[in-house]
């Protein structure tokens, strides 16, 4: 697998994977909201591509996952001076389920955070999806708090301590794109 900055041409694939994820969640009765699945987020996705914070994961040339990684906190996180990166918008192709794409993304983000000398990888997720909360906890994230993201929709804030930059594996997004 290879991580590289997403391009404008990747936006359609990202939105398609997000729509598939949204449909899968709804079919299971989960009210989780996948922003990239909705047209009103198209400008925000384009902005992430243009700023270089949206990434695509390719396996044998095929896009199998997407995520964004930012240095600025998302609206749900209280502003503080803690050095952290913020992981969001992670979507994995259903066709790639079970090959470790999500784990690969998380470890890549942790290595990138270490390279940037950040203390934590932070994310938020739907509190009413116990499978997803357990998934992040199994990947070393600890619950930091819960927030009301909108009426009737609760989120969990998770963070994971990052390994010391001295001991972290090298993670150069430019080299990954080559």
Write down the domain spans for the chain.
Answer: 2-177
**Burial bucket for residue 147 (CB in 10 Å: 0-12, 13-18, 19+):** middle
| 12 or 113, higher pLDDT | 113
The reported pLDDT for the residue numbered 69 is 94
Whether 170 shows a pLDDT value over 70: the answer reads no
168-176 contacts, C-beta under 8 A, 24 or more apart: 168/110, 168/111, 168/114, 168/115, 169/111, 170/111, 170/115, 171/108, 171/111, 171/112, 171/114, 171/115, 172/115, 173/3, 173/4, 173/5, 173/55, 173/112, 176/2, 176/3, 176/4
Average pLDDT value for the chain:
81
The reported pLDDT for the residue numbered 175 is 36
- pTM for the model: 0.82
CA nearest neighbour of 49 among 93, 2, 105, 5 = 5
The reported pLDDT for the residue numbered 38 is 57
Domain 2-177's class? alpha beta
Reported as a pLDDT band with limits 50, 70 and 90, residue 49 is confident
The reported pLDDT for the residue numbered 115 is 94
| 105 or 168, higher pLDDT | 105
Whether 43 shows a pLDDT value over 50: the answer reads yes
Instruction: Identify whether the C-beta of residue 25 lies closer than 8 Å to the C-beta of residue 32.
Output: yes
């Amino acid at each position: 697998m290879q991580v590289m900055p997403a391009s404008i041409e990747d936006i359609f694939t990202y939105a398609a994977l997000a729509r598939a994820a949204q449909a899968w969640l709804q079919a299971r009765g989960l009210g989780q909201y996948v922003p990239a699945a909705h047209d009103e987020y198209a400008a925000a996705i384009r902005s992430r591509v243009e700023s270089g914070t949206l990434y695509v994961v390719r396996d044998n040339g095929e896009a199998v996952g997407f995520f964004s990684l930012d240095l600025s906190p998302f609206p749900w996180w209280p502003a503080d001076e803690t050095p952290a990166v913020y992981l969001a918008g992670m979507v994995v192709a259903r066709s790639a389920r079970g090959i470790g794409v999500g784990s690969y993304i998380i470890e890549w983000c942790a290595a990138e955070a270490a390279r940037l000398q950040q203390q934590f990888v932070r994310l938020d997720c739907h509190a009413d999806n116990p499978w997803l909360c357990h998934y992040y906890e199994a990947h070393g994230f600890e619950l930091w708090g819960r927030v009301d993201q909108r009426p009737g929709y609760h989120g969990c804030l998770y963070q994971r301590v990052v390994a010391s930059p001295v001991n972290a594996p090298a993670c150069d997004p430019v080299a990954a794109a080559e």
